[in-house]
């Protein structure tokens, strides 16, 4: 959420930020509403002040022994009633105005960081670095073919259980998923992250706090009987973990790593990535999350990205790092580095992690602050996958595939999996 005060005092900064995202919003009407709201608040609080004084006066007079039914007191009381009625009128207007403003502002995305390159869409993203040697050739199979051969998972019967875009893992496939989750968690814990296993269902406030609501309600599954949604990413419960808190500055940064199943409706992606593990309604993810001192968040962003990259390196998976341009930036992010893993079967890089700094955007929505000696200020939040587990499995299958149909596993995974390769059983 953007700062009301900033909209009031520096609307240019905001509209320029929106322009860089390719959005054009006229802030004038909002500014007018903010101004009116301010004026109403002022008159209202003056009236209340008057009312409070009358209340006290009545109390004192009664105490001093004046007849409670005297004309003097009656007059005071009726003045009190009148004030109360006028206050009620003002409050009504105030409430509808501030609700209107709030919904508008909750629908505004974050302002891109000045470091974020301006661009129209994903074609303007900037490659920053590469790691590893991508396998090239025409003989590489896509991961679902490999998996099918090894009986790792099945999609068709999963739609019997649930619907399309769900997958059921079997045998070595299930075990590999488990091994990957454990490896990722262990490595991050080793680096000082605190492990969290959050609820998979989250309420409306949590989704609003991290930016998924109100704008993207069609992206998440909702439980109709309750104020609960299936969490689309652990970013949501992790942000909500410290909602309405003031975190002492010497405790920062708080670094969390969370494994969670993630649920997404994938509305509007019919026909895309219908095969395999790339785009599912339910997938597993290990998420990295920082609550950072706002003065140190830029450095934190780089570190978080490196921590996510470390998993790819340990798993010997070639990848590249992209800096997203303003046109491809997510709603809550002010700057994002995407990690894309190499998939030789389809001969391209695929997103496997998105490492974003959100500045105070989520912190303002969720009211998460820090306190140093004198001042209280909003903290900065950062998140990134470390990594998306299903896509990691796809990458391991495609990069480790052998001509005989087996898959050689990265060395680091062997202790977790208990074998050096996946074989036909």
Partner RNA sequence: GGAGAGGUGGCUGAGUGGUUGAAAGCGGCUCCCUGCUAAGGAGUUACAGGAGGUAACUUCUGUCGAGGGUUCGAAUCCCUCCCUCUCCGCCA
Neighbouring CB atoms inside 10 A of 161's CB total 9
- CA 306 – CA 313 distance, rounded (Å): 10
Contacting residue, 7, 21, 40, 51, with RNA by CB under 7 A = 51
Which string of x and - marks every residue 91-110 that binds RNA (by CB under 7 A)? ----x---------------
Is 322 within 8 Å of 351 (Cβ atoms)? no
Evaluate whether 293 touches 276 at the Cβ level (below 8 Å): no
Neighbour-count burial of 35, counting CB atoms closer than 10 A to its CB (0-12 exposed, 13-18 middle, 19+ buried): exposed
Which value, in Å, is the radius of gyration of the alpha carbons in the chain? 27
Query: With binding defined as CB under 7 A, does residue 84 bind RNA?
Result: yes
Q: Which span sits near RNA by CB under 7 A: 36-44, 158-166, 178-186, 391-399?
A: 36-44
Taking CB under 7 A as the binding criterion, the range among 51-59, 109-117, 145-153, 231-239 that sits at the site for RNA is 51-59
d(CA 326, CA 365): 21
In the bound state with RNA, the residue whose beta carbon lies nearer, of 52 and 107, is 52
Query: Is position 56 an interface residue for RNA (rule: CB under 7 A)?
Result: yes
143 near RNA, judged by CB under 7 A: no
Smallest separation (angstroms) from RNA to the CB of 100: 16
CB of 42 to RNA, least distance (A): 4
Among 31, 48, 313, 408, binds RNA (CB under 7 A): 48
Reading the block at residue 383, the tokens are 């998140």
Near RNA by CB under 7 A: residue from 25, 76, 105, 135: 76
391 with 184: CB under 8 angstroms? no
Instruction: Identify the residue among 25, 27, 54, 97 touching RNA (CB under 7 A).
Output: 54
Strand partners, 422: 407
> Does 81 contact RNA by CB under 7 A?
yes
Strands (E), 64-160: 126-131, 153-154
In 279-416, the DSSP E strands lie at: 282-292, 319-323, 335-343, 348-359, 368-371, 376-378, 380-388, 407-408
Exposure string of 65-86, with b = 16+ CB inside 10 Å and e = fewer, is: eeeeeeeebeebeeebeebeee
Which part of the chain contacts RNA (CB under 7 A), choosing from 55-63, 185-193, 209-217, 319-327? Answer: 55-63
Contacting RNA (CB under 7 A), which of 19, 32, 38, 415? 38
* Short-list 184, 173, 231, 237, CA closest to 209: 237
Among 29, 59, 171, 418, binds RNA (CB under 7 A): 59
Question: Residue 122 carries which DSSP code?
Answer: G
CB of 54 to RNA, least distance (A): 5
User: How far apart are alpha carbons 85 and 201 in whole angstroms?
Assistant: 43
Q: Does 46 bind RNA (CB under 7 A)?
A: yes
Span from 210-218, 324-332, 355-363, 368-376 in contact with RNA (CB under 7 A): 368-376
385-397: burial string, b at 16+ Cβ within 10 Å, e else = bbbbbbbbbbbbb
Nearer to RNA, 68 or 214 (CB): 68
CB of 58 to RNA, least distance (A): 3
Among 6, 28, 32, 45, binds RNA (CB under 7 A): 45
The token pair that represents 12 in the structure block:
């240019």
What is the smallest separation between the CB atom of 305 and RNA, expressed in angstroms?
Answer: 31
Helix, strand, or coil (residue 257): strand
Of 41, 154, 266, 273, the one binding RNA by CB under 7 A: 41
58 forms part of the interface with RNA (CB under 7 A): yes
CB of 59 to RNA, least distance (A): 3
Cβ closest to RNA, residue 21 vs residue 365:
365
Structure tokens given for 235: 């970013």
Single out the segment in contact with RNA by CB under 7 A; choices: 59-67, 150-158, 183-191, 307-315: 59-67
**Residue 279 neighbours by CB under 8 Å, 6+ apart:** 165, 266, 269, 272, 273
Positions in the binding site for RNA (CB under 7 A): 5, 38, 41-42, 44-46, 48-49, 51-56, 58-60, 62-63, 76-77, 80-81, 84, 88, 95, 246, 369, 371, 376
């Amino acid at each position: 959420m953007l700062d009301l005060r900033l909209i009031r005092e520096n609307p240019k900064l905001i509209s320029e930020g929106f322009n860089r995202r390719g959005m054009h919003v006229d802030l004038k009407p909002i500014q007018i509403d903010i101004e009116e709201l301010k004026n109403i608040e002022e008159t209202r609080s003056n009236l209340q002040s008057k009312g409070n004084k009358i209340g006290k006066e009545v109390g004192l007079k009664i105490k001093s022994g004046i007849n409670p039914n005297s004309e003097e007191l009656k007059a005071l009381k009726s003045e009190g009633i009148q004030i109360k009625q006028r206050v009620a009128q003002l409050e009504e207007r105030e409430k509808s105005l501030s609700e209107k403003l709030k919904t508008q502002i909750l629908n505004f995305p974050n302002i891109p960081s000045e470091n974020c390159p301006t661009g129209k869409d994903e074609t303007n993203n900037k490659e920053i670095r590469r790691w590893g040697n991508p396998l090239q050739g025409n003989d590489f199979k896509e991961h679902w073919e490999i998996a099918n051969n090894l009986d790792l998972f099945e999609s068709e019967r999963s739609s019997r259980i649930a619907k399309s875009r769900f997958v059921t893992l079997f045998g070595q496939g299930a075990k590999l998923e488990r091994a990957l989750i454990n490896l990722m968690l262990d490595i991050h814990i080793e680096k000082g992250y605190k492990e969290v296993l959050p609820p998979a269902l989250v309420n409306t406030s949590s989704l609003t706090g991290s930016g998924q609501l109100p704008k993207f309600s069609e992206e998440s599954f909702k439980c109709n009987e309750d104020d609960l949604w299936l969490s689309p990413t652990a970013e949501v419960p992790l942000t909500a973990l410290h909602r309405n808190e003031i975190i002492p500055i010497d405790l920062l940064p708080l670094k969390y790593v969370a494994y969670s199943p993630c649920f997404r409706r994938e509305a509007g992606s019919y026909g895309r990535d219908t095969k395999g593990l790339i785009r599912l309604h339910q997938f597993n993810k290990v998420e990295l999350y920082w609550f950072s001192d706002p003065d140190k968040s830029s450095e934190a962003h780089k570190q978080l990205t490196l921590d996510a990259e470390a998993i790819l390196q340990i798993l010997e998976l070639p990848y590249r790092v992209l800096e997203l341009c303003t046109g491809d930036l997510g709603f809550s992010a002010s700057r994002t580095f995407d990690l894309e893993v190499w998939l030789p079967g389809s001969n391209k890089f695929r997103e496997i992690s998105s490492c974003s700094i959100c500045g105070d955007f989520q912190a303002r929505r969720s009211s998460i602050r820090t306190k140093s000696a004198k001042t209280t200020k909003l903290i900065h939040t950062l998140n990134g996958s470390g990594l998306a587990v299903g896509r990691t499995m796809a990458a391991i299958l495609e990069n480790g595939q052998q001509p005989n149909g087996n898959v050689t596993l990265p060395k680091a995974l062997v202790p977790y999996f208990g074998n050096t390769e996946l074989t036909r059983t």
